[in-house]
Chain A
Amino acid sequence: MDIELICLLVMLAVFLLANLLVKLPVSFSMVLGAIAGALVGGQGIPLRHLFEGTFTYLDTILIISAAMLFMTVIQESGALEALNAIIVTRFYKKPALMLILLMLMIMFPGMITGSSTAAVLSAGALVAPVLLLIGIPKEKTGAILAMGAIMGMAAPPINIPALLIAGGVDMPYIGFEGPLFFITIPCAIIAVLILGLKHCKNLDIEKLKGELNLEIGKKYGIRLYLPIFVLIVLLVVSKLVPSLPQLGTALIFLISAAVGIFTGRRFNVWEKALSAMETTIPVLGKLMGVGMFIQVLTLVGARGWIVVSCLSLGTVMLYVFACTIMPGFGAISSYGAASVMGVPFLLVLLQAGGHNDIVLCCMLSFLCCLGDLMPPTALAGNYAAQIVGLKYRPVLTKCVIPFLICLILGLLCMIFSGSLSFLTA
């Protein structure tokens, strides 16, 4: 057995043992896995590498932190409650349309932060009561949140696995919007309708109205939505007119959050900000742990080994593996899946010919994103279950059918990426 494979197995084993048996947090388990790998790989305890790895996702960490503050603000100020009330009162007659709109709301923070966790913890937390209210059972509500968060994470403009894969092959992150919308929007719609539609055929609007906060929207009027408006304008302007002085995504979130403090219900900013950061820190720790884990994988040569091993697969096996290993690697980290497995899969599939590189990259990143449902980390599933007050197993069970549908659609898009190249224009 190659030494690289032994390193990989040791790292995974230590990680899983620490996480599942000793019940350490995922981030600490990753640190232990990384240290074990370095020791087996003959690198001692490479402090420098361990530290350096944690800085890999510094930008992402800043963005997620700022986005969480923003979501806390619009949650506390009442903007999201008001939005929910509008959606339910306007669309209760067309439950399918309503569910789709709610799904898009769950997706939104994921779309702009590229993080499923941000989506579940922010918009998900707000939409969950509405879904429960209209009669969707807890486990299915959790499943909708988890699926929505994952679709949001994969949807443009920010899809971090796609960025990682594209970066790995020197492909500019341009033209990804089309294919990513093409796969995520239908999958999101299918998922939410499968899970929710039969429960909200006949809605009693009067009963619903009693549970909704109809007042807050009237009390503050249009200014309640100002932070969301500021956020969208700043994000769009910075995309459209890049030559303007740039604020950066993290600062844009902070500015919008600052605006939100004054546009709605008053709340204790310090306390809410602290508690928002407290829920986020495990996620940030996970990102740091992943960076460390992959840095050590690279250092001991296991990353190169995985890549080269994948090169020897035939085309059919390659598709099979793309559908199993890419999401499967999400058990450790979907970002890790993209940066370790995404690049070689892309290169080898492209070599088979007839493919469009951008569509292929998008679909591979989509498969990586699905990994956020994979236990034991199951980022999206974990937090969704937490919100509806369940363990994550019943929630994940409900996710199985939509998950498989997504997987099949993603695979089909991969196989026929050549004929989808019009999407990248």
Chain B
Amino acid sequence: MKKFAYLWKNALVLLAVLVFAIPASVDFLAMQKREPVAKNDYEVRMLSEYCEGLKDTPADTEIYVLDSGVPGGTFLIFGGTHPNETAGMLAAVSLVENMKPTAGRFFIIPWLNKSGFTHTSPLDGMQDFFDITLDDGSVRTFRVGNRLTNPVHQWPDRTYYEGTSGRKLVGTETAEIRNVNRMYYGDPDGVLTEKVCWGVYQLILKENVNLTMDMHEGSPEFLYLDCTMVNEKADNNTAMSIAQGMSLDMEFDDLTMRAEFSGMKSYGLSHRSLGDNTQSMMTLMETYNPSMGPLHGKMDDDLIINGNEPNYVEAYQRGLNYFKIDDSGYPLINRVARHITCIFYLAKNYTDAHPDRAMAFEGLGSYEEMVQKGLGGLLKPIK
């Protein structure tokens, strides 16, 4: 009997752990539920319609299709490639809820890496949720996730993996096997993350997508902020002129949005891999998100929504960041509005260059108007 005494002790310890683990697990499980989207004139499809293997997995995600009924081009827009890059997801949601297309079709995916929205990363002290109070007084809650697929859904990370792009994931890059933006163009029989990539790839091919925007944010240390990466190849190497047109239009609105060539060695990233392997013009934009950097201060709704981080102002003054950061911060609404404005001008310049593939929308207003309205006015109440 004495031999098994330790079992009792261990059982007691486990029980004590459970007392804390159960309420904690409620917190974690709450992140599994997707946010509702307000009504608009859209059709909902699932990404599994383009990649069988995603069906009934936690990674299958909604695609909102808004069709103007006027023949023209097709624009694919997605946020949430990296769930912690909040502005991309919110810009996509705002587009879905407000957009009135006037030419062509729009495919919008707000939560591309849906699995990534179900967890946060250890040590970073990230928020799981943040609240936005709407103009009518109701509150909408959104998730901040992790940039990688949830290891509960895809584990373990292999110590070596070669994706379809030829990117070799070894050493410190092994976790990137759960990063949607490293695994393009995907593989229908690969790991869960690759299936998501394959779904996007097939969607572009099957729906004959002409223009794609992948919305991102970066920590302040990143070099390419307020910047759009462009794969030059589409339509006989004319994509950069369209992007430069957008960049000039943004500048006329007093907004900076550099256009940059997609890196030749950015294997497995959307703009490189999908641009090289599909007909679509591929673009990826980045804005600055202070809550993502390692220098961030106290983590709360205020940092996420108002985007003012004095630590980064100081780091900039000390020459540690390339990107200019001042006391005024970079509120979420400004980042969301910048994403949407960039998309608007990309569509406009694309239409100018290819009138037979026109794509246009209204319903969101100018950058200034969106900022004026704030997130509370831009997002619609859920009825």
Contacts and interface: CB of A to CB of B under 8 A. Distances in A.
Contacts of B309: 304
Contacts of A168: 294
Interface stretch (A14-22, A41-49, A136-144, A192-200): A41-49
Majority SS at the chain A contact face: helix
A47 B30 CA distance: 14
Contacts of B141: none
Contact of A47 (B27, B125, B170, B314): B27
Given A52-B122, A246-B158, A166 B172 contact: yes
A172 B123 CA distance: 20
A339 B124 CA distance: 11
A311 B320 contact: yes
Given A238-B159, A308-B315, A351-B319, A298 B295 contact: no
In this complex, which of B23, B120, B128, B171 has the most chain A Cβ atoms within 10 angstroms of its Cβ? B171
A248 interface: yes
A210 interface: no
Contacts of A3: 298
Among all A-B residue pairs, the 5 with the closest Cβ atoms: A299-B125, A301-B297, A301-B298, A298-B125, A246-B159
Majority SS at the chain B contact face: loop
Interface string B103-137: 00000000000000000101111001000000000
B318 interface: yes
B122 A311 contact: no
Contacts, number: 102
A182 interface: no
A307 B311 contact: yes
Contacts of B171: 172-174
Given A50-B24, A298-B123, A308-B311, 7 more contacts: A4-B297, A55-B122, A56-B123, A243-B162, A295-B122, A300-B298, A348-B320
A299 B291 CA distance: 11
A378 interface: no
Interface string A11-51: 00000000000000000000000000000011000011111
A304 B122 contact: no
B150 to A, nearest CB: 12
Contacts of B315: 308, 311
A335 B159 CA distance: 22
A238 B21 CA distance: 37
Contacts of B294: 168, 303-304, 307, 343
Contacts of A299: 125, 298-299
A384 interface: no
A304 B295 contact: yes
A300 B125 CA distance: 8
A246 B160 contact: yes
Interface string A290-311: 0100111011110111011001
B168 to A, nearest CB: 8
A307 B312 CA distance: 11
Q: How large is the interface on A (under 10, 10 to 19, 20 to 34, 35 or more residues)?
A: 35 or more
B320 A47 contact: no
B160 A243 contact: yes
A350 to B, nearest CB: 10
A343 B293 CA distance: 12
Given A163-B172, A167-B172, A307-B295, A53 B311 contact: no
Contact of B318 (A56, A244, A248, A311): A311
Interface in B314-360: 314-315, 318-320
Nearest to B293: A304
A304 B21 contact: no
A48 B27 contact: yes
A333 B318 CA distance: 29
A48 B24 contact: yes
5 contacts: A47-B20, A48-B27, A53-B122, A246-B158, A348-B318
A291 B123 CA distance: 7
Interface in A322-358: 339, 343-344, 347-348, 351
In this complex, which of A48, A173, A300, A307 has the most chain B Cβ atoms within 10 angstroms of its Cβ? A48
Interface in B158-181: 158-160, 162, 168, 170-173
B269 to A, nearest CB: 15
Nearest to B30: A48
A353 B98 CA distance: 51
A343 B124 CA distance: 14
Contacts of B36: none
Contacts of B24: 47-48, 50-51
B120 to A, nearest CB: 7
A149 B358 CA distance: 68
Contact of B314 (A56, A242, A308): A308
Contacts of B299: 298-299, 301
Contact of B297 (A48, A295, A305): A305
A347 B312 CA distance: 14
Contact of B123 (A53, A163, A244, A344): A53
Contacts of B20: 47, 51
A242 B160 contact: yes
Contacts of B27: 47-48
B125 A295 contact: yes
Interface string A131-155: 0000000000000000000000000
B181 to A, nearest CB: 15
A240 B255 CA distance: 49
A49 B311 contact: no
Contacts of A246: 158-160
A154 B171 CA distance: 18
B295 A296 contact: no
Interface in A209-248: 238, 242-244, 246, 248
A338 B23 CA distance: 32
A56 B123 CA distance: 6
Contacts of A52: 120, 122
A173 B159 CA distance: 14
A296 B299 CA distance: 10
B79 to A, nearest CB: 23
Interface in A255-312: 291, 294-296, 298-301, 303-305, 307-308, 311-312
Contacts of B311: 304-305, 307-308
Interface string B299-311: 1000000000101
B172 A347 contact: no
A104 B120 CA distance: 41
